[in-house]
Structure 1
Amino acid sequence: MAIQLVVGAGFIGDALARALVARGDTVRLATRSGTIVPGVTALTVDASDPDALAAAAAGVATIFLATGPRQYHRWPELWPPMYRAAIEAAHRSSARLVLMGNLYGYGEGSAMPMSETMPQHPTEPKGRVRAEGWALALAAQAQGEIEVVEVRASDYFGPGAGKSSQLGSAFFGPLLAGKTARIFGSATEPHSWCYLPDIVATLIAAADYRGPWGWVWHVPAAEPLSRAELAERVNRLTGEKGSVTALSPAFLGLLGFFVPFIRAANDSVYQFDQPFIVDSAETGRLLGVQATPWERSLPAVIDGYRAKAAQEVS
């Protein structure tokens, strides 16, 4: 029975910790606030502190770096110390390191679909800091200090995803009420969306992989759909008449002038104003992870938001 360290208890880290416990692993969960998850050992750790993280990682098989700075606009400042701390902790503990990543590093204008073997050409600050973090980890592996892989996912969705998710409560909430969801970017461009259980399955399969490390794994995504198409599917399942409308780029630009978080988000709007499609063939072939079809994931997500709304009312 392996001992695992999950760093971060957000949407992904929480689900990952629970899945590892469910399969019989011993799990330590490192967060700044000492978040408690049933069946998990809670540790209060600053993820940018290499000494504290190394102490938390003593004796573990894998470190899953599943956290990230909430201050979107401060990624270039806050991510590098977290990467360095995770690499140092993996080196000292001899644990393998699994990084939870995204697709920002491929940059605007990338060929579609984006494959695991594509080079990264980031075109904005958030993509650059993620690409630099991966390069730092790869350099540590090349020097024989660690073994590392990165699992990259497109925008996630799942029961309970909050307002920060492009396919979260701000999208599903209005639709389930028969109202209009106001979205960031185009409503009509096809986009790959990653279901939370598929992200967790890919992280675990990547950690268990006994082939070469120093590799990138893409989380499988079901058929690419625009948010207008998703709204139509939600309406068919619920009988509602919800709709989506894109927020004005001029409005977002003005808002970004005053709100740093929005300004940072505007740098990534290209991901929604053109097709943004992921290829995960190698993940399917070598890890055996397949995307959950929309026919299963979408009803589960709708049920999850309805259940949460019922709890809030009661």
Structure 2
Amino acid sequence: MSVLVLGAGPVGSTVARAFLDRGEQVTVATRSGTAPEGVTSVRLDAADVDALTRAASGHSTVAVCTNPPYNTWRRDWPPIIESVIGAARSTGANIVMIGNLYSYGMATMPMRESSPEEPAESKGEVRRDLWAALRAATERGDVQAVEVRASDYFGPGAAGEAHLGTRFFDPILANKRSWAIGNPALPHSWAYLPDLARTVVAASEYRGDWGRVWHVPAASNLSRTEICRIVNARYGVRGSISGIPSLVLKGVGTFNPILREVSKSSYQFLAPFLSDATETESMLDVGATAWERALDDTVAYYRSGRPA
């Protein structure tokens, strides 16, 4: 198998390494040409169908790990997906789209692959429409596509934009206060980046029906308050966590378009937000990494100066 990975952020880099670890040939495509060590890199705009078709030629799978800025999703995502479908149709490559849980909106918990898609805000509408386009292309026989959906991720490589990334761990490990979106005392599903990547690999090799969704098993459903308590006890620190008042977040969002979008999706942190991955566990044989091991590896990453 040879794989084209679109994007080299925390998700794209982890997915690329997971395929590399299986001995696959991996090409990573980005606008800048950045890529993890050991892979072929190519510079392209994913919305350019001709460039993407050339890059996808000879690859059996296209893993879509790119993610435009929050505030440009409605503008930037549709041409990217049209380009991905066009390139896959021309080359015969399968599509594994990495997604999230936004399209379920304020769903009954836990969210399952069969949960109705009833978005609560515009980014959820975009995600719903992207998957609808991929599913329709699969049903027409143009491509074979699946979507791997993860709740908020954490782990080595998770940076400042991750709710359980740099902005959570750095202050706590330095005996300071971490400021959280929403209510940090509520349970939330957290997907460990290597588990996300293993789900992508397994989904790309699945021999059953395409045109479906897979959920990434959650390594933890703990609240950020409880995770902070565990970090303090396990690693000998004295950090704390508090929620940013919604009015403050909304006010800052008036001037900052990214935070405006974060505020719109903050409902995910104002009530329990939990996912179920029973189908992934039983049909793909992918389970979550043990929480303690995932946490140890994550803390080691932040304490080591963030190796590549």
TM-score by length of 1: 0.96
Asked whether the 8 Å contact 2:63–2:98 carries over to 1, the reply is yes
1:270 counterpart = 2:267: yes
Partner of 1:288: 285
Asked whether the 8 Å contact 2:153–2:190 carries over to 1, the reply is yes
Q: Deviation of residue 20 (structure 1)?
A: 1.1
Asked whether the 8 Å contact 2:138–2:144 carries over to 1, the reply is yes
Partner of 2:38: 39
Cα displacement string for residues 211-270 of structure 1 (whole angstroms, at most 9, x for unaligned residues): 111110000002411100000000011111111001111111110111111111111001
Partner of 1:305: 302
Asked whether the 8 Å contact 1:237–1:299 carries over to 2, the reply is no
- Where 1:283 maps in the other structure, the secondary structure is helix
How many angstroms apart in 1 are the aligned matches of 2:247 and 2:209? 47
- Where 1:29 maps in the other structure, the secondary structure is strand
1:6 counterpart = 2:5: yes
How many angstroms apart in 2 are the aligned matches of 1:233 and 1:127? 32
The code of the aligned residue for 1:123 comes to A
How many angstroms apart in 1 are the aligned matches of 2:281 and 2:16? 23
Task: Please point out which of 102, 105, 110 is paired with 1:107.
Answer: 105
Q: Deviation of residue 79 (structure 1)?
A: 0.7
- Where 1:17 maps in the other structure, the secondary structure is helix
Asked whether the 8 Å contact 2:191–2:220 carries over to 1, the reply is no
Asked whether the 8 Å contact 1:222–1:291 carries over to 2, the reply is yes
Give the stretch that moved more between structures: 240-249 or 273-282.
Answer: 240-249
Partner of 1:19: 18
Asked whether the 8 Å contact 1:180–1:242 carries over to 2, the reply is yes
Identity %: 47
Cα displacement string for residues 184-226 of structure 1 (whole angstroms, at most 9, x for unaligned residues): 1101110000000100000000001011111100000024111
1:195 counterpart = 2:206: no
1:130 counterpart = 2:127: yes
Task: Please point out which of 239, 243, 264 is paired with 1:242.
Answer: 239
Partner of 1:164: 161
Q: Which runs of 5+ in 1 are unaligned?
A: none
1:226 counterpart = 2:202: no
Q: Which runs of 5+ in 2 are unaligned?
A: none
- Where 1:308 maps in the other structure, the secondary structure is coil
How many angstroms apart in 1 are the aligned matches of 2:39 and 2:12? 12
Partner of 1:143: 140
Partner of 1:173: 170
How many angstroms apart in 1 are the aligned matches of 2:216 and 2:57? 28
Asked whether the 8 Å contact 2:185–2:224 carries over to 1, the reply is yes
How many angstroms apart in 1 are the aligned matches of 2:299 and 2:125? 35
The code of the aligned residue for 1:38 comes to E
- Where 1:4 maps in the other structure, the secondary structure is strand
Partner of 2:208: 211
Task: Please point out which of 65, 70, 79 is paired with 1:72.
Answer: 70
How many angstroms apart in 1 are the aligned matches of 2:192 and 2:35? 24
1:89 counterpart = 2:87: yes
Partner of 1:55: 54
The code of the aligned residue for 1:19 comes to A
How many angstroms apart in 1 are the aligned matches of 2:67 and 2:292? 31
- Where 1:253 maps in the other structure, the secondary structure is helix
Q: Deviation of residue 38 (structure 1)?
A: 2.0
Asked whether the 8 Å contact 1:57–1:93 carries over to 2, the reply is yes
The code of the aligned residue for 1:66 comes to C
Moved over 4 A (4+): none
Cα displacement string for residues 34-72 of structure 1 (whole angstroms, at most 9, x for unaligned residues): 113222111111011111111101111100001010x21
Residues matched between the structures, number: 307
